[in-house]
Amino acid sequence: MLRVYGNRTLKTLPGLAIRPTSVRVRQAVCNIWQNQIQGCRWLDLCTGTGAMAAEALGRGAAEVVGIELSPEAYGVARQNWQKIAKADQHISLFKGDVLNQLSRLKGQSFDLIYFDPPYSSGLYTPVLSKIVQFNLLKPEAEIAVEHSPKGWTAESIAGLRLMREKHYGGTCIAFYGPD
């Protein structure tokens, strides 16, 4: 079991196939974004069990949208979000490959995007490029990209500006904004 804002418990999956974002990292990102979450449109890419978006719902996000490949994680994320969401909050979750599913979001724009792929997936640059290509960012939007300091290195992406990078033990978060 995981706990999110408001001391609410979430379901998890057994084993190590899905790596949930640590409490420390979830709280750090939400503290950085504390003045932006209330009423925002939140996009959660490689959702896993949905802990980050559940945290956003608990802090007042108006809408969360997610994409998750694993059928098991998709089911758990859906349950977690339904448990946390209030009647006036909207949730949408798509099952499938993040690169293919992003095209479903063309014409939409988001305030905050959390992207946490499997660290060795090679999805970082292709997904960030698709976010730009599909114009998914509002003018003041931010993307937080979770990665391992030993894996991917935050890099320049056409259309995005690397604003800052934070390190939390074995986890790094690179923050991008529209260029």
Token pair recorded at residue 46: 């490689």
State the chain's maximal CA–CA distance in angstroms.
42
Q: What would the pLDDT profile of 15-29 be if each residue is shown by its tens digit?
A: 555 666 778 898 999
| The model's pTM | 0.91
Q: Name the CATH code of domain 2-14+23-178 (choices 3.30.1490.190, 2.30.40.10, 3.40.50.150, 3.40.50.300).
A: 3.40.50.150
Interior/surface letters 57-91, b for 16+ CB within 10 angstroms, e for the rest: bbbebbbbbbbbbbeebbbbbbebbeebbeeebeb
Using alpha carbons, select from 115, 106, 8, 107 the residue that is nearest to residue 57: 8
Domain ranges of the chain: 2-14+23-178
pLDDT tens-place string over residues 59-93: 999 999 999 999 999 999 999 999 999 999 999 99
Nearest to residue 113, comparing CAs of 140, 81, 88, 137?
137
pLDDT, tens digit (0-9, with 9 covering 90-100), for 111-151: 999 999 998 899 999 999 999 999 999 999 999 999 998 88
CA 3 to centroid of chain Cα atoms: 17
